Amino acid sequence: MFYNDINCGTKLDDGLLKDNEIIAEINSLKKQNDVTILAHYYQSIEIQGIADYVGDSLGLSKIAKEKTNSKYIIFAGVDFMAETASILNQDKHVLLPNPESCCPMAAYLTAEMVREYKRKYPGLPVVTYVNSTAEVKAESDVCCTSSNAVNVVKSIAKEFDVNSVLFGPDSNLADYVEQQSNIKCIKMPEDGHCYVHSQISVDDLKRSRELIKDGLVLVHPECVREVRELADFVGSTAHMYNRVKNSKIEEKKFIIGTEDGLMKRMAEDFPDKQFYPIREKLICYNMKKHTLELIKYVLENLDDPMFEVKVPAEIAEKAIFPIVKMLEIS
């Protein structure tokens, strides 16, 4: 299966007409009600299409801080992303269309666990992936994304004059950063991972290469080391996107080792290229809990408290420091 020169993710006939009607209503409602819609690359292509901004965690964090001047922010992502937007925009209403859209990785690490690690390793800086709760961020010295993790760890290690850092909750990203930076990343916890990326195996990669002889393999740093070391390129969703965007004319085929949504985004934007999933059903079902119908409903009920993500001021005051520090390093 490959995606090439197709309008990915849309339905035909009646379904397409219905989607177009909903999209028109969404675009009208957000203009009327002073709303900015942010969407992660892992959202469906239809939701990406109605967003004001689409990006990865780092890009959307910057946008939430610097470019969202509206009273309301609808965040089509998972809970920690909406929390980050709330931390950076305490004076705005941040809405998560489906409150059940949670990140399983973030659940691996709690604030109390971070405090325990700090007691066990006094003097070491705490680096937490943005895929973490607001309470965890509040216990951190700096946050990072997969786009900037290596630079963040190098910077904070230099600031603290240490050769080791505490890093969580993704153990595979910690391993990748340690390889790239030569700075010891003590994992908080040992088994934290993304269920989408960690399922990609060496066999998946080898099988894909056999089927697509001249395809370039792009994988996310949340993949296991054995997969990363066999890939042609390792990078965040934004890095993968830019790798394809800046690819040579003769580079036509790409085997994508990340969530399905990014591949569909690239198929839309680069119709002269061909994209193949490294394995079937690489889907973050938590990300996909948002729908056009639900976003339209939220736009019609902006003040319904069930959709609002509001980080308490006392936590936000602590959590904003490591986020802003990350943005400064980036």
Q: What percentage of the chain exceeds 90 in pLDDT? A: 88
Cα–Cα distance, 34 to 73 (Å, whole number): 9
Residue 3 in domain: no
Peptide bond just before 277 cis, omega within 30 deg: no
Mapped onto helix, strand or coil, the DSSP state of residue 274 is strand
Residue 212 in domain: yes
User: What pLDDT, on the 0 to 100 scale, is given for residue 58?
Assistant: 77
CA 207 to chain centre: 27
User: What pLDDT, on the 0 to 100 scale, is given for residue 16?
Assistant: 62
Q: Are residues 133 and 173 in the same domain?
A: yes
Cα–Cα distance, 212 to 27 (Å, whole number): 40
Cα–Cα distance, 271 to 190 (Å, whole number): 41
Residue 112 in domain: yes
How does residue 14 score in pLDDT terms, banded at 50, 70 and 90? low
Instruction: Output the CA–CA distances (angstroms, integers) from residue 184 to 102, 111, 162, in the order listed.
Output: 29, 21, 9
Cα–Cα distance, 57 to 39 (Å, whole number): 10
Q: Are residues 152 and 85 in the same domain?
A: no
Residue 324 in domain: no
Q: Is the pLDDT of residue 179 over 90?
A: yes
User: What pLDDT, on the 0 to 100 scale, is given for residue 11?
Assistant: 42
Contact 9, 46 (CB under 8 A): yes
Q: Are residues 92 and 28 in the same domain?
A: yes
Q: Are residues 141 and 202 in the same domain?
A: no
Residue 282 in domain: no
Beta-strand ranges (E) seen in 15-58 are 35-40, 53-55
User: What pLDDT, on the 0 to 100 scale, is given for residue 123?
Assistant: 96
Q: Are residues 228 and 167 in the same domain?
A: no
Instruction: Output the CA–CA distances (angstroms, integers) from residue 322 to 130, 203, 301, in the order listed.
Output: 10, 38, 33
User: What pLDDT, on the 0 to 100 scale, is given for residue 330?
Assistant: 78
Contact 183, 177 (CB under 8 A): yes
Cα–Cα distance, 103 to 134 (Å, whole number): 13
Q: Between residues 82 and 64, which one has the greater pLDDT?
A: 82
Q: Are residues 159 and 130 in the same domain?
A: yes
Cα–Cα distance, 301 to 33 (Å, whole number): 11
Cα–Cα distance, 252 to 53 (Å, whole number): 27
Q: Are residues 218 and 246 in the same domain?
A: yes
Question: What kind and span of H or E run contains 49?
Answer: helix 45-50
Residue 327 in domain: no
Q: What is the mean pLDDT of the chain?
A: 93
Q: Is the pLDDT of residue 322 over 50?
A: yes
Q: Between residues 31 and 217, which one has the greater pLDDT?
A: 217
Residue 318 in domain: no
What CATH number does the domain containing 33 carry?
3.40.50.10800
Contact 185, 177 (CB under 8 A): yes
Residue 320 in domain: no
User: What pLDDT, on the 0 to 100 scale, is given for residue 319?
Assistant: 97
Provide the residue range defining the domain that includes 181.
106-192
Cα–Cα distance, 192 to 171 (Å, whole number): 5
- The vertex-284 CA angle with 282 and 286, nearest 5°, equals 160
Q: Are residues 179 and 248 in the same domain?
A: no
Question: What kind and span of H or E run contains 143?
Answer: strand 142-144
Looking at residue 87, the DSSP 8-state letter turns out to be H
Paired with 7 in beta bridges are none
Contact 42, 284 (CB under 8 A): yes
The count of other CB atoms within 10 Å of the CB of residue 60 is 27
Q: Are residues 52 and 130 in the same domain?
A: no
Q: Are residues 69 and 141 in the same domain?
A: no
In total, how many domains does the chain have?
A: 3
